[in-house]
Amino acid sequence: MVCMITILPETTKNPITKIGLMAGVCWNGDTTDPEKNYKRGMDCILCEHGRTFEYPDVELVIDGYSARCIREWYTHIGGGPTRLQSSTRYVKWEGNNFADNFVIPPSVEKAKENEEAKTCLADFEKSFMNLIDSMEKAGVPKEDIAMFYPLGMKTKIVDKRNMRNLVEMSHQRLCTRAYWEYRKLMKDICSALSEYSEEWKWIVDNLMKPKCEVVGFCKEKKSCGRKPKLEDK
């Protein structure tokens, strides 16, 4: 499964300093000194002044994840994020191989060890690709053919959201109860941000974590056991 996260240059390079700068305006403090802004930003973070987290922006390209995963991504609407998705009207298939265009879960790959399952999957892949090809040859517009596309189809989006939205998303989506593909997406974003700047690395290492690591106990009914449940504390 080849996926790619690209952090765009429009992303705030130094989010902690940016937080401190904006807070300094509010407090009528000295905003001309980057070191003071950084210290003030750290104070805001450690005191959990969440509104200040909304000033740093993240703009990124998410490529190669399933439409199902991206549909879940769209549910995180806090702070008014915006995004554009790869068009099924204009974007063509990448070759004629089913696997080039769809996310195949590890459990499905393992199921191929069973001959019956392997045969059924191969038949489905061939039938699906033949369906798309026959519809195109019959003159059906791509936007109508797209009605046949399953949620496993790979897609690409360009997304813009603030740091608070992304941090709060990580608390939910890095949890082991989250779907495996979304956990991978979240980890990939954390990795890309860590490489973007030292301040982002601090944010990732200290703020972007499963919710049990934030509150110290598990809120899920079906716990993985990583942290004790509240009633067990």
Query: Which regions in the chain score pLDDT beneath 70?
Result: 1, 92-96, 232-233
Task: Say which CATH topology domain 4-86+153-232 has.
Answer: Gyrase A; domain 2 (3.30.1360)
Around Cβ 103, how many Cβ atoms within 10 Å?
20
Q: Which pairing describes strands 154-162 and 82-85: parallel, antiparallel, or unpaired?
A: antiparallel
The answer to whether 204 and 94 have CB atoms below 8 angstroms apart is no
pLDDT of residue 109: 87
pLDDT of residue 1: 63
The answer to whether 153 and 96 have CB atoms below 8 angstroms apart is no
pLDDT in tens, 3-62: 899 999 999 999 999 999 999 999 899 999 999 999 999 999 999 999 999 999 999 999
CA separation for the pair 223, 233 (Å, rounded): 14
pLDDT of residue 94: 64
- CA–centroid distance for 142 within its chain: 27
Structural domain boundaries of the chain?
4-86+153-232, 106-148
CA separation for the pair 8, 60 (Å, rounded): 5
Which pTM does this prediction carry? 0.91
The answer to whether 40 and 24 have CB atoms below 8 angstroms apart is yes
Tell which residue, 7, 138, 158, 149, has the closest CA to residue 92: 149
pLDDT of residue 123: 92
CA separation for the pair 159, 172 (Å, rounded): 19
The answer to whether 44 and 92 have CB atoms below 8 angstroms apart is no
pLDDT of residue 93: 67
pLDDT of residue 96: 64
Judging by beta carbons within 10 Å of its beta carbon (0-12, 13-18, 19+), is residue 157 exposed, middle or buried?
Answer: middle
CA separation for the pair 64, 5 (Å, rounded): 9
pLDDT of residue 27: 87
